[in-house]
Amino acid sequence: MKSAVATSYELDDLEEAAEELASSVKERLDLKKHSVGILLCDADTDGAALTRALKDALGFEVAGMTTLAEFNPEGRQTAAAVLTVLTADDCLFRATVTDSLLQGDHEQKIARAYIDNRPQDTPAGGNGGVLLAFCPSGMPFSGDVYPDILARTQPDMPILGGAASDDYDYRRARVFLSGKEHKDAAAFIGIWGNVRPTFALRHVTSRFAERIRRVTRADGNIVHSVGDETFIRYLEGFGLKTDVPDPLLAFTSYPMMLIHEKSDEVPLMRHISGLNHADGSGSFFGNVPQGALANICLINRNDILTSCRDSMNALLEESKKQPDYDYSTVLCISCCGRAVILGADAGGEGRVLTELLPEGLSLAGAYCLGEICPTFWKDGKVSNRFHNCSIAFCML
């Protein structure tokens, strides 16, 4: 499989942007039998129009999502559209989108899209596949459903993905697939055949606040009480302001670390997605296990840069285990919370990635509201999980 990454800062004249991106790709890449495009772009971009124009110009499906900022081989970009094209003779690329997940049974719709994504016949000599997921934000359900349903429909399929974001407003985040954009549907790109995806993920759990408490009542991604108080009272105990117009933004840089002693899983990181002052509960992007020990993680810029470096190095190290496979692209999903914590050094993670990116590999990535990536459990078992405040990589 070969790949190329092209970037355009033209977000208003989409014909021009499509032309710029398509010609850049064609210049650098000899397109094979099968190709697919991944578009990661600013929320000001009309993704429907741009993917339609790109499909017209390139002749294959283009899927993607909006993001707070994009990564390309030059580092972090803003107000840009980054197109990654994957092409191969020995791989099939299939793009599917779910129906609206706000209406009806969202789990069934996700399962349907997964099943539809699977080709009837995979190319000869194929080793398996990998799924790239572009998920909508602001859904009333936990992000855990994506890996959980995949585990039921295609248990051995690894997945890398994230929830679409925008520049801290989070209401303009969208998902695209070849001429259509969706605020409430997920788009998937399945890569089938001779592909050996390698993953790495890191989050920061080294320092936390002084109020460790047990989650005493939780239901999925809703936490009602922690210790002997409501979730909101628990948050206020940290000194945090809860009477805020935008809880998501107010708590983006303070993820919650959860340690479930009965589980052999590494500590979970969870971002608050909303607060319900009527009953004192809080909602999260992912599930919160009842009985887990909760605390707020204290993360600074150095922690972010260190974990970014560690994760990228781990990815490169892992890729060496496949010396006979020719990797071409690194896809990266980082958390919007990390972008906020970086503060004035917003380009920090991009700088680290550029510095570590080996010659010959392209790079594309986005900041998301939740990351999906396989993770290792304490016993070495690998499982797709939904994460927050992490940085995840997939090398293809």
Query: Taking the complex as a whole, how short is the minimal distance between the CB of residue 237 and other proteins, in angstroms?
Result: 7
Contact yes or no for 195/381 (Cβ under 8 A)? no
Query: Taking the complex as a whole, how short is the minimal distance between the CB of residue 78 and other proteins, in angstroms?
Result: 6
Give the C-alpha separation, 13 to 51, whole Å.
13
Instruction: Report which of 252, 114, 203 is spatially closest to residue 387, judged by C-alpha positions.
Output: 203
Query: Taking the complex as a whole, how short is the minimal distance between the CB of residue 198 and other proteins, in angstroms?
Result: 27
DSSP-H helix ranges across 106-230: 106-117, 145-153
Contact yes or no for 77/67 (Cβ under 8 A)? no
Query: Taking the complex as a whole, how short is the minimal distance between the CB of residue 240 and other proteins, in angstroms?
Result: 6
CB-count burial class (<10 Å; 0-12, 13-18, 19+) for 125: exposed
Give the C-alpha separation, 56 to 321, whole Å.
38
Which DSSP category does 123 fall into? Answer: P
Query: Taking the complex as a whole, how short is the minimal distance between the CB of residue 80 and other proteins, in angstroms?
Result: 11
Closest to other proteins by CB, 114 vs 251, is: 251
Query: Taking the complex as a whole, how short is the minimal distance between the CB of residue 250 and other proteins, in angstroms?
Result: 5
Query: Taking the complex as a whole, how short is the minimal distance between the CB of residue 249 and other proteins, in angstroms?
Result: 6
Residue 1 amino acid letter: M
- Note the residues at the interface with other proteins (CB under 8 A): 9, 11-13, 44, 78-79, 167-169, 209-211, 237-241, 244, 246, 249-254, 259, 296, 298, 340-341, 343-344, 346
Query: Taking the complex as a whole, how short is the minimal distance between the CB of residue 213 and other proteins, in angstroms?
Result: 12
Closest to other proteins by CB, 251 vs 393, is: 251
The CB density around residue 300, as the number of other CB atoms within 10 Å, is 14
67's CB contacts (< 8 A; 6+ apart) are 40, 41, 42, 43, 164, 165, 166, 366, 367, 368
250's CB contacts (< 8 A; 6+ apart) are 240, 241, 244
Strand order, beta sheet including 2-8? 2-8, 81-88, 34-41, 62-66, 175-177, 180-182
Query: Taking the complex as a whole, how short is the minimal distance between the CB of residue 385 and other proteins, in angstroms?
Result: 20
Closest to other proteins by CB, 33 vs 241, is: 241
110's CB contacts (< 8 A; 6+ apart) are 98, 101, 145, 146, 149, 186
Structure token digits, residue 331:
């896809």
